[in-house]
Each structure stands twice: as C-alpha cells, then as structure tokens.
Structure 1
Amino acid sequence: MKREPNRRQRGAVARLLLSVLMATALLAAACGEPDPIANPEWVAGAAPKGRILFVQHGDIYLWQDGKIRRLLELGNAASPSWSPDGSRFAFVRFGDAFSDLYVAGADGQGMQQLTQNEPPLQPGTQAYVANSVWALDPAWMPDGQRIVYASDLNSVKNYLWLIPSTGGAPQQIPASTVPGDNVESPTVSPDGTRIAFAHRATSDDGLRRRTDLWILNLTTGEVVPLVQGGDGSYAPAWSPDGNWIAYVGRQGEANNLYVVPAGGGEPVQLTTSGAVASPTWSPDGTMIAFLQLDGGTFEAQYVEFTVEPGGRPRAGEPKRLFEAEAIDAPSGLSWAP
C-alpha cells in the first residue's frame, strides 16, 4: 500500500518549524548574499576555542578560533555533526521530497553518500513523493563507527535508525517507536548506552501539539520521558561528562536554554532572552553555545556553565561568539576541539 505523500511532507515541515521555533521570522530575514564576518570581540577572560560547524544558505561553514570559512558549497546541506574524534562530519542533503545522509573529512574533502533515499521514479509524481524517504538529524555514536538519525524509512513517521559511518544497511532502533509519534534530534550519551530525543506529542486536550524529551536505553530497550509538559522542549544536547542534557524550552512565545539532569530531575532555566535555538556543548563541557535571534537573524552566543557545590547548575551572562547572515537555525551548531 502506498504511503501518503502529504503526511510525509508535513513531517518534514513540522521538523523545521519545531526546531527553529521561530521559522517565519527567520525566513523573512534570510535574504541577500551572505558575507560571513567573524566577530572575535571576546569578553575579558573568556576565549572559546575549537571548531564549530553551521549552515548558511545550504552551505556548510566552519568557525575556528574567531575566523569563518566555507567548507562545502552545496546549496542544500543541513545539520552538520562532528564525529567524536573530529576527523569527519556527517550532514544531510535535501532533494525534492527526500533527503540523504553524507559524511566528509574535517576539511570538507572525501564526501561520501550513506543513504539512497531518492526513488527511481519520475520526479514530481505522486508515486515519486510517496516512495521518497527522509533522513534527518544525524548524531554520532561514541565509537565513531555508527551514526544515529531520524527517518521515515518503511513508515509514515520518523523513528530512529543506525547506519555504519562508512556505509551499509541502516537498522531501525525498535524502541524509538514506543512513544508512538515522530521523533527527532537524537543525542547520544558519552558512554553510548542511551539516546535522548525529542518526541512530538498531542496535548491533553487533543487540540495542540507539543514536543517532549525522552531517553532510550539501548541496552534494555526501555524508553522513559525526561521532560514533559509546558509548551515544548526541543533540540536536546548531551553534556560531555554525561551528567546533563541542554535543550530549548518553550513557555508561551519565549524559547530559552535549559539543562536537566540526564538521569531525570528538575529542569533549570539558564537564559532569559526568550529567543534561543539549537544548543551545543563545548568539548570540555564548560560552555554551551546556542543561536540567539537578534534583529531578525541569528547569531551564535555562549554561556559559561558551572555546577555549584550543592549540585545546582548555573550559567554566566550570554556572550557573543560570532555572527553571520542568515544562519540556518534548524541545522544548529556542532562543536569539536
């Protein structure tokens, strides 16, 4: 039986809307040709280092120690993600009603396609759309040998799959189907035993949709909620020490940075600007970078992260990391040494 193309297309659109949290404002601002300019106006005593990947107009860019350069000029790339050793990165390329996973070397060379999701049918036809497949939101397993991602392969909903990072047949993670609806934005614990992800759920009144965070145990197959309620929780990111998960929490129209203990507990709000998206941790876990809506476009900012003697997390004042025109917020940031 053929799958319904409208449901498939709605799934992709919903992912973008939920991830960016403010897509309309971003699209209205994303005009003109980009000319990225690094902004190394560091606050005294703070000097973030390393390499951060981000996307601008479908091309993949690298921020490194205050300078920006383009790694891949593709026009349809999204969601770059560094491998654990920083020698490669995975990313998505969008086609007409489908998308595929790719990997490339740290310098953008040696690009390899991992999935083959375009159907051998006439583009633009109902059959073409119905048989196309999405591959979204890649995240690496700690061994660097596998990549977890969201896909509607063999389904009308997005669940979690694993694929070898050098190519091969993908395998579904059956436990990711337990919550029952589309999942997105997987992030893996440093020991590789658990995956946190966002799950789109219907509100209690049945009239609204929200996104909750769940934890999947790869050893036991157990799936449990981590953050539920409110108006939505998005874009989880596991800390390098395994103790925390950063995410974007939505309350009304405000989207702020939160952290929650990875083992469950009370979330703690770290920012108050109300316009945050796509957090990522520094490799040493002392900083969290994120995208901040600023005058109709996004810039990268960061906070210094510490844990008080009593165990309560806290963050310093947000500081500017870099700015560039029309950063693609759904694609997020990925930080490596």
Structure 2
Amino acid sequence: MKSLCLLLMFIILLTGCARTDPAAAPEQGAVVQGAALPGKLLFVRQGVIWCWQGREAAPLFGDGRAAHPALSPTGDRIAYIARSNSFSDLLLADATGQPLAQLTTYGTNEPPNSLRRVYASRWVFYPTWAPDGTSLAVAAQAAPPMGDPPVDYNLGLALLPVGPGTARPLYSAEGAQVAGSAFSPDGTTLIFTRAASVPGGQQRLYRLEMASGAAQPVAGAPTPSYDPAFSPDGAWLAFTARDGDQTDIFVLPASGSGTPLRLTSTGLARAPAFAPDGRQIAFLAISPDSSGFDLWVAELHQNEGGGLSAGPPRRLTQGMKLDGDSGVVWGL
C-alpha cells in the first residue's frame, strides 16, 4: 500500500506529455475538421466523451467527470469512469450515451473532503473490454484506505463481470501500480502498464497470460512504455515510448520479440488506437503551435520483410486540448 499522494502522483505521471485542465474554457476556434473515418472513434475533452463517426465529431455524453471510455467489441456499449471527490466508479452506457448500469459502488455519502469519506472510498480506472464482451479488466484498489493516517491500496488489475458475478483479481504487486491495459483479440493475453509506486517510477509494459496468471515484462518494449493497443488481427502491439527527449508511437510484433518500429516522429505523441480494419492508426499529439493534445490519424503500410510503417499523419482537430490520459478508442 502507498499513500494517496503517491497514487495521485502516479496518475499524473501517466498523463504523459501534458494534461487537460477540465476547468479550462474551450479555446476559440477549437473545431473538428471533417475526415471520413470507419467505425466509431471516442476521445475525451474536459470530462465529456466525444464520438467521431463518418465525417463528423460531436460531444456524446458526460458532465465534466467522464474519463477512460472503452467501446465494447460489438460497438453497442461504452464503459467509462466517472470521477468524483475521493473516489471514482465504473459505469456503462449504450452507444448513444444513455445510462445502462453502474458496475462499481466505490463512493460514499460521507461529507466531501472529510476523513470519513476518505476511509469509505476507493478508485477504479482504465477499463478495457474482454473480446467476448462479458467482462472488463480495470485498474482498481482492492479496498478502501486503512491506518492512521489513511494509506491507500495500490492499483491492481481486476476482472469485473458486466452482468451478475464478482470481481476476480488478476495482478497486484507490492510497491507497484498498474494502469491501462489491452486484451489480445483472442483473449489469451492482457498487456498492461506497471510502474513502481514512488515519485518518478518508470512505466513498463507487462504481459499477463490469462490461463496461468503469470506476468512478466514485454521483452521488446523499452522503459518507459505505456498505452498498449493490439491491431485487430492480433499481429502487432502498438504503444507509447520515450526515445531520448521525444515521446512517440511504436509497434512490436504481438509476441513482444524484435526491435520496436517507430510509427510517429512528432516527439509529443501518445495513446495509439488501430482502426477496426487495421489500415489506419489514430493517436494524440501536441504540435508546436498547440498547448495541448489534438487528434491525429495516419495510414498504415506493410513493408517488404513484414515490417509496419505509417504514412504522414493528418491532424483532425485544432486546439481542442484533449485528455491524454483517457486516450483514444476506435471500434465498430
């Protein structure tokens, strides 16, 4: 277990190059430029979940507290996090944003900012759907804080059923926090981000085998690396990594072997998401003329010899200051 301040510092660390200030007023001229995209693409701005479908993007739902959307494999449900004072919960909506269910009850009616509220609350983040659509992997605390002063449990991986049933612990480690994760398309493997729960702890990708529960670092992924995303055919693992003073999008064969291949060179990119047909990749990046994340997309190309590369990226939004920690979700 670590203190609440260390947990919050870890969450801030995972935002990468920049954070969105949910209290900030929208910039003038923050418009979405029309570009035809397949499927649905979700991203978050100031606690509101947006959806890009076809050539249009618009706010879908959210009251300023929404984060970490996850689109179900069939595209008909959206799991997301609602943040509150001292806690967060996992909720479920349909594809239009209408509420369906609340999957956790980690909050309390104790007075805001009170010690009683702290002792009765816990956190959940980063949902990702299992390929069969029956459960979600999340980063969550096992229980409310303990001790005097209160000390938080680290974030560990758990598998939450969407319907009746109880949560199943997947991974936890003393002195470590977990964050975003991604299932392989066949559901046999879960790639997740792990970091030491100390200020400045470096993130690294880990591979969890669902059958055995064994977890180990992804051999080919550097440190730091985070934001895992599988290609639809399961052949490639995309992620964010730091190379010198630059942060960009890289890919490895899904086995984790080999040398990472660089897909972007913006120097301030994160949160990759493959198109449903695997022909494009979306990501968030900060350009020299912007103070926050915008949405970009690039065509993907199979190279001779079996490699993967990306064409010149297209910038799809201008000055929107998107939530880097909530990333990008692209699905049916």
TM-score (norm 1): 0.87
Alignment partner for residue 267 of structure 1, among 260, 267, 287? 260
Structure 1 unaligned regions, length at least 5:
none
Residues 273, 256 of structure 1: alpha-carbon distance in 2 compared, 3 angstrom cutoff: same
Q: CA deviation at 1:307?
A: 2.4
Pairing partner for 2:224 from 232, 235, 254: 232
How many residues in Structure 1 have an aligned counterpart in Structure 2?
320
Contact 1:179–1:199 (CA<8 Å) still a contact in 2? no
Query: For residue 316 of structure 1, what is the amino acid of its counterpart?
Result: G
Aligned to 1:55: 44
Does 1:277 find its partner at 2:270? yes
How big is each residue's C-alpha offset from its partner over 1:25-76, in whole Å with a ceiling of 9 and x where there is no partner? x54x973236752202x5xxxx432211111111111111221222113110
Over residues 239-270 of structure 1, what are the superposed CA-to-partner deviations in whole Å (9 max), with x where a residue is unaligned? 11111111110124311000111112121111
> Hey, what does 1:165 align to over in structure 2?
162
* Cα shift at 1:313: 1.6
1:178/1:31 CA distance change after superposition, 3 Å: closer
Q: Which residue of 1 aligns with 2:82?
A: 93
Flag structure 2 segments of 5+ consecutive residues without an equivalent: 144-151
Q: Displacement of 1:110 after TM fit?
A: 2.9
| Alpha-carbon separation, structure 1, partners of 2:183 and 2:237 | 10
Q: Does structure 2 retain, via aligned residues, the 8 Å contact 1:140–1:148? A: yes
Contact 1:212 1:228 in 2 (8 A): no
Moved over 4 A (4+): 227-231
The amino acid of 2:227's aligned partner reads: A
Letter of the structure 2 residue corresponding to residue 112 of structure 1:
A
Contact 1:51 1:62 (8 Å CA) reproduced = yes
The aligned counterpart of 2:133 is 144
> What amino acid maps onto 2:265 in structure 1?
T
- Equivalent of 2:33 in 34, 39, 50: 39
Report what 1:185 is aligned to. 180
SS at match of 1:289: strand
- In 1, the alpha carbon distance for the partners of 2:256 and 2:174 equals 17
Partners of 2:86 and 2:5 in 1: how far apart?
A: 7
Q: How is 1:1-337 mapped onto 2 (pairs within 5 angstroms)? A: 7-18=3-14, 20-23=15-18, 26-27=20-21, 31-33=24-26, 37-40=31-34, 47-154=36-143, 156-166=153-163, 168-173=165-170, 176-177=171-172, 181-201=176-196, 208-227=200-219, 231-265=223-257, 266-294=259-287, 295-323=290-318, 325-337=320-332
Distance change >3 Å, CA 264–CA 87, structure 1 → 2: same
SS in 2 for 1:264: coil
Give how far 1:152 is off.
1.2
CA shift in 2, pair 1:180/1:262, >3 Å:
farther
Secondary structure of 1:39's aligned partner? coil
Contact kept? 1:121, 1:127, Cα under 8 Å: yes
| 1: CA distance, partners of 2:50 / 2:161 | 25
Cα separation, 2, equivalents of 1:292 and 1:217: 31
Q: Secondary structure at the match of 2:99?
A: coil
Deviations 1:268-289 (A, max 9, x none): 1111110102111111111110
- 291-300 vs 139-148, which deviates more? 291-300
Letter in structure 2 aligned against 1:190: P
Identity %, equivalent residues: 32
Q: Residues of 1 paired with 2:196 and 2:230: CA distance? A: 22
Deviation, 1:167, is 5.5
What's the CA shift string for 1:1-48, capped at 9, x where partnerless?
A: xx76xx234313422322x21236x54x973236752202x5xxxx43
Bigger Cα displacement from structure 2, 183-192 vs 9-18: 9-18
State the distance in 2 between where 1:90 and 1:256 align: 27
Give the direction of change, closer, same or farther, for the CA distance of 1:68–1:48 in structure 2 (3 Å limit).
closer
1:270-328 Cα distance to aligned partner (Å, 9 max, x none): 11110102111111111110001131122111122222231222111111233462211
Amino acid aligned to 1:312: G
For residues 167 and 326 of structure 1, what CA distance do their matches in structure 2 show? 38
Tell me the distance in 2 between the aligned counterparts of 1:9 and 1:134. Answer: 13
Paired letter, 1:195: L
Instruction: Supply the distance in 2 between the matched residues of 1:73 and 1:264 (Cα, whole angstroms).
Output: 36
For the structure 1 residues 281 and 152, does the alpha-carbon distance in structure 2 shift closer, same or farther, using more than 3 Å as the test? same
The whole-number CA distance in structure 2 between the counterparts of 1:263 and 1:62 is 32
C-alpha contact (below 8 Å) 2:156/2:173 kept by paired residues: no
